[in-house]
Amino acid sequence: MSPFDVRFPDGDEKNEKEIKTVVQPDIVVVCDESKLDEKGCTGAPDLIVEITSPSTAQKDKLHKFNLYEEYGVNEYWIVEPESKILNVFVLQENGRYGRPDIYTQGDKLRVSIFEDLMIDLQDIF
């Protein structure tokens, strides 16, 4: 529930209050319960979803993309509701996001972190 902070420690912080890199994504999936606390999550979630708006699109596509890749978020979705497009980035073995898989309203999406989860984007858009 909002507000939900995702805190990315750099490793040299002495305590939680010193973590400077904090974001509040639209949707977060965290499979490792040890990362969760009353404020949110410390470390990389397994999946982050950002829903763009005209005021956030540039930040979501540039700043947050680079941040999530750097800190090892396994899967990053950028949802563009205006154009009904979903870009799915999956972290590769080299620690970088590959080219996105691009989905539209009529597609069905298999979520890579949950092999048996299929989402019908018709229901989303």
pTM above 0.95, yes or no: no
- Residue 42 three-state SS: strand
Q: Span 90-114, mean pLDDT?
A: 95
* Domain ranges, ordered by start, for the chain: 5-124
pLDDT band at 1 (very low <50, low <70, confident <90, very high): low
Residue 77: Cβ-neighbour burial (10 angstroms; 0-12, 13-18, 19+): buried
Q: Span 61-84, mean pLDDT?
A: 96
Question: What is the reported pLDDT for 17?
Answer: 76
Q: Look up the CATH superfamily of 5-124.
A: tt1808, chain A (3.90.1570.10)
Q: Span 24-30, mean pLDDT?
A: 95
Question: What is the reported pLDDT for 71?
Answer: 97
User: Measuring CA to CA, how many Å separate 65 from each of 4, 25, 57, 114, 122?
Assistant: 18, 12, 11, 21, 25
